[in-house]
Amino acid sequence: MNDTNRYIDFESKFDRNPAISVATSDENVVSGWSNIVAQILQASGKGIIAIETYQGVDAGQIIREFVKNDATIEIIDTRSLMKSQAEIKKMTFADVTDDRVFGRITRLTLNDFLSDTGLEDPGAAKVVIGPGATTAVPGAAVVVYADMPRWEIQLRQRAGQVDGLGLNNREESAAALYKRSYFVDWRVLDRHKKKVMPIADFYLESVNPDRPQMISGSELMDALAQVAARPFELVPFFDPGVWGGHWMEEVCNINSDAPNQAWCFNCVPEENSLALQFGASTIEIPSINLVFFRPRQLLGDPVRSRFGDEFPIRFDFLDTMGGENLSFQVHPMTEYMWENFGVPYTQDESYYILDAEPGAVVYLGVKDPVDPDEMQADLESAERAETSFPTDKYVNTWPARKHDHFLIPAGTPHCSGSGSMVLEISATPYIFTFKMWDWGRVGFDGTPRPINVQRGIENIQWERDTEWTGANLVNRIEPLRSGNGWREERTGLHELEFIETRRYWFSEPVDLDTGGMETGSVHVLNLVEGQEITVESPTDAFESMVIRYAETVVLPAAVGSYNIRPSGESSASEVAVVVAWVRF
């Protein structure tokens, strides 16, 4: 940890564990394995129990708990119903590929993994458990959905506790396991989840395996409906990296043994969690469930019609304060994304500078003139560790100061330098980054991190030189409106990008509007200046919510009109927020 108040001059109240209170009673939550097993058995009578499990759920533990209740109980694990590992690896190779990082989004379904889509005769089996349990026994008396957030899955993959779908491969590297999950397993299981969760009798959460919790499926769906009608925060997660810094340690109240904090995903619904508070009990669920089952209320009809049940806006932190440069990289063009990875849109992004040390810079756009063949040759030489890539010869550096905003449409080479705290606002497909130069570093495992010079060169838009970049991508701040104690600015993103960002400076309340679910868009908001604001409904449609410095809040399209005002220690101060939505 760094000395207290190195980066901010007030006591941070950043909430690392935000919970969303739902209007129900914790009496409906069943806690502890023995109580959960008893409740399921009671509900089933003499019928068969189907327990669907998402990746990362310890099915073995659930089986042991049922056996504790009744040593004679007959249980079928759906792993025994899967195709052979050789068949699955062959079937999925086109999507997993042999590339170290990238694959292709699969179109496979869970039925493709099962050797038989049903059990003609389950015999004396009382419980069928695992992926595809409801497919194996479509007439089950009780259906339980056992879920797991993706960030927790990744932690378990790193600990060697998780296999790929239908495989016994947990000994593979965490990177290989994650890649298979991202391109294949999660896609397959999500398609199945969308069918099963709405009909599940119970929802089982076991993020803490010693403190499992269960609630009825109908209670969970009702909770999602409540969340989709009010502002909420996701549970952020933090991770160290080879370039990581120390700003988040102080501002986000992190006390850990990690060498630094590089990343924070604070609005990436594919990976973050939602903490739902039922009375005194809190259940942690994947936030992607809200996108799957309440897309219209959350996203708004225009956004849903364009992106389906995907959340297209990402907010995250990149901390190099006291750290090192990010890798020099470029994101693929949209047509390249579709042709190579099966994804219909790309990672256009921007860097909003929350804080910066003196001398901090952002690398952005190529210099003029640049010879592409010469630059590629120097990158390949650096990749072979023959030379160090002369970044300053080929890439522009722009001074980075607090509240600067750098726009980075796909195809623009870029990276943040050391000494910056970046709020990255981008489209969601975050894995598709082509690193071209990593400053001669190795990862925490002692091996060089993956470099993709050829892919990067194929996507660089060479006309984005010094003049074009300066005119189009650096601090395109446009004053729009103002009123008593407030003003609004457009800060980007570039016309090539689909995300609109606005900054509001205010010492008095400001009225905003998502536009409603029929014509509007979900809003994502971060407090970039000031200690605290309050988000309120002018019609008391939702309970007021306090947002503290650097926190991110999601405002579903269904919220409609809302206002923000300085509160607490910021009541007499001017504060600022950045708000993003999908432009039409």
- How far is the C-alpha of 145 from the C-alpha of 204, rounded, in Å? 6
Q: How confident is the model at residue 429, as a pLDDT?
A: 76
Q: Write the DSSP assignment of 14-73 as a string of letters.
A: --SS--EE-SS-GGG-EESHHHHHHHHHHHHTTS-EEEEE-TT--HHHHHHHHHHH-TT-
- How far is the C-alpha of 501 from the C-alpha of 495, rounded, in Å? 11
- The CATH homologous superfamily to which domain 478-582 belongs is Jelly Rolls (2.60.120.10)
237-269+311-472 CATH, one of 3.40.50.20, 2.60.120.10, 1.10.287.130, 3.90.1490.10: 2.60.120.10
Q: What is the mean predicted confidence (pLDDT) over 173-189?
A: 97
Place of tokens 């002369």: 390
Q: What is the mean predicted confidence (pLDDT) over 525-531?
A: 98
Note the residue count of the chain. 584
Query: Using CA atoms in the order 22, 26, 32, 35, what is the torsion angle rounded to 10 degrees?
Result: -120
Distance of CA 79 to the CA centre of its chain: 29
Of 564, 562, 548, 547, the residue nearest 503 (C-alpha): 564
Q: How confident is the model at residue 492, as a pLDDT?
A: 80
- How far is the C-alpha of 551 from the C-alpha of 16, rounded, in Å? 9
Burial string for 406-444 (b: 16+ CB within 10 Å, else e) reads bbbbbbbbbbbbbbbbbbbbbbbbbbbbbbbbbbeeeee
Q: What is the mean predicted confidence (pLDDT) over 533-559?
A: 98
The model's pTM is: 0.96
20-227 CATH, one of 1.10.150, 3.30.420, 3.40.50, 1.10.287: 3.40.50
Q: How confident is the model at residue 214, as a pLDDT?
A: 98
Indicate the domain borders of the chain.
20-227, 237-269+311-472, 478-582
Q: Do domains 237-269+311-472 and 478-582 have the same CATH topology?
A: yes
Cβ atoms of 457 and 445 closer than 8 Å: no
pLDDT band at 1 (very low <50, low <70, confident <90, very high): very low
Strand partners, 510: 564
Cβ atoms of 176 and 235 closer than 8 Å: no
Q: How confident is the model at residue 442, as a pLDDT?
A: 93
Q: How far apart are the two ends of the chain, measured CA to CA in Å?
A: 44
pLDDT digits (tens, 9 = 90+) for 118-161: 777 888 889 999 999 999 999 899 999 999 999 999 999 999 99
Q: What is the mean pLDDT of the chain?
A: 95
Cβ atoms of 201 and 217 closer than 8 Å: yes
pLDDT digits (tens, 9 = 90+) for 69-94: 999 999 999 999 999 999 999 999 99
pLDDT digits (tens, 9 = 90+) for 219-231: 999 999 999 999 9
pLDDT digits (tens, 9 = 90+) for 451-477: 999 999 999 999 999 999 999 999 999
